[in-house]
Structure 1
Amino acid sequence: MKPQRRIPSRRPLVLVVPAVCALAFVVAPLLGLLLRTPWQILPDRLFTAEVGQALRLSLVCASLATLLCLIGGVPLAWLLARGAVPGRGVIRALITVPLVLPPVVGGVALLLVLGRRGMVGQYLYEWFGVTLPFTTAAAVIAETFVALPFLVIAVEGALRAADPRFEEAAATLGASRWLIFRRVTVPSVLPGIVAGAVLCWARALGEFGATITFAGNFPGRTTTMPLAVYLTLQTDPDEAIVLSLLLLAVSVGVLIALREHWIRGVA
């Protein structure tokens, strides 16, 4: 029996043309950034005190925001995927609201709740003398607000894809729920947790709208890298390009870090 000849797949022009246009639409601005980068003065601009200060603050705030997301997001994802919680659809919709909500609106909402006269912030100020807006803590809170959905969605998807029979077997052997969660559930979905944490960290690192609204733009205290780009674009476009290139390099690094996870998920 002769092997069947594989018919080469045809690429209809009606699909190729818009696909190429969409790809060019994404690549062209990135290419423009690379072409306009002042490579000759890049080292001098990259290692200035202002850039180092903004980068250090961005890394600290994004890391703290990711840690907060892990502490609250992983249990929340477990409840959405495995827990018998009433109204899970509504909870899931509320969690994903920051994905579609304009970041500036998120910053205003945080200000109304945690501001000095906010619903919660007024008591923090009256009882403990704590003022959150326009502080480094405010930048961390703003980044946590916008990044949390990325972690919850990734971990919930990993939990739904995991085989629950291992947990059932551990329960049959007498393991407690906490032991099952710690020794069986978390290791089985660890790649999803790592992928969600990386995406969460990258989103927090690039946050602008909620941060500038709730935390302000104070150098050394709340001026993260995106805010520094906005600030320097008005006075020194070359330095703004350098900062943008640095953020682009971080984004590419995140994509490379997640490449193996995506390949395994597709396979």
Structure 2
Amino acid sequence: MTRAVAAVVTLALVLAGCSGFVQQDSPETVTPAAVPTDGVGYPPGVSDEAVVPPVLASAHARTLATTNYTLVSRQRVTDSNGTVLRRSDHTRHVAANKTTYAGQFRQNGTELNTFTTRIDYWTNGSIVAARYDERSNGPQRVKWTVRDDGPVSDLSERRMIRGIGEAVDLSVADRSDGGVVLVGTRFTDPDRLSTPLFVSAPRNVSVRLRVSHDGTVSALRLAFDAERSDQQVRVTQYLRLRNVGSTTVTQPKWVTNTTQRSLQE
């Protein structure tokens, strides 16, 4: 495999895993399921007595699969003084057909050496185009034929929502015409969280999710303390759903200047 093609493969792997804290489970068909409810106004998988994470996460993914939207996620790892050790920002714009989407991923950190990753990507379901910075050769623009799910394997963050629900004891804190607010401050299975690189032993968790009646998670905040090598750190994750029904996805101008690559070279 050539060096250029290896870079393309690495890029695809980064985008497939850059958005998640949560361990990937086996492939799952998103289908309606029996839902515990306690009257009108509860989202699927939510009642006064319990939250059923697989049902809630599937309802979120199922609803977003029928519309266009923008999803913004942010992750921060900070030390005890508030210094940011790792910063990740990922914005994706998704068309209603789910095969056409575009995004921007930015990350910098200090795990081994100070580094910065900048990736822009676009796919129409047939090809993937990416623009990224490679230190030795400068900016790169490449494209390749789509395989499997494309550059982002979980557009709606279904696995993240399910994993958080299975890791933390969630309950209803507020209920209104717009939906419910779920909160949690106790780990039940912290192994369901896949922590950032070199981060382990999560504890002191705090979670807040805003969920619409159709099961869509419109906002999420996750925070917990952990260890990073010999440091005590704080990890925070934010998720925000925007422009549902009004997001447009157009082919970026830079796509016309990309170089075709083959993963079989």
TM-score norm. by structure 1 comes to: 0.25
Q: Which has the higher contact order (CA 8 A, sep 6+)?
A: 1
Larger Rg: 1
Pick the structure with more helix per residue.
1
Pick the structure with more strand per residue.
2
TM-score norm. by structure 2 comes to: 0.25
